[in-house]
Amino acid sequence: MFKTVLLAVDVNDLEGAKRPAETAVRLAAADGADLHVMNVVPDFGMALVGSFFSPDHNAQIMKDAKAALEAWAKENLKDVANVTLQVDQGTVYEEVLKESETVKADVIVVGAHKSQLKDYLIGPNAARISRHAKQSVFVVR
């Protein structure tokens, strides 16, 4: 059924990534699918904000995020055969949707972060991903 499962995780909340990862691993294992795991580092947004950081700050953030994702995957995905890791920078939901097209994901798995009433019981990124994705989306609590 699935050839590629895309799992979006937040390296700043790796404890919260465990349950979505378990779901993604089960989905991938059931069909022998590839598991593509990604993290999105938010960008600074306005150029004015970015000017307060050193020129190599962005590269260091990306390097740190990649190292954190690799360490997490080594610990939590050690029994999964076909895993690819990706770190992108930008708006979370936009980058997840772009990556889903790039890797031709059949399903996207995301976690629902700490809910607030204003988020209608799932986080704003999970909501946007599920609204705009062309494939099925599992939102895991």
β-pairing, 136-140 vs 107-111, is parallel
- pLDDT reported for residue 66: 97
Q: What pTM did the predictor assign?
A: 0.88
Angle between helices 124-132 and 92-102 (to 10 degrees): 40
Determine the pLDDT at residue 119: 40
> Where do the domains of the chain lie, and which CATH numbers do they carry?
4-140 (3.40.50.620)
pLDDT tens string for the chain (141 positions)?
A: 899 999 999 998 888 899 999 999 999 999 999 999 999 998 765 555 556 677 788 889 999 999 999 999 999 998 888 999 999 999 999 999 999 999 999 999 999 865 544 444 456 888 899 999 999 999 998
H helical segments located in 5-123: 18-31, 47-50, 57-76, 92-102
β-partners of residue 87 are 39
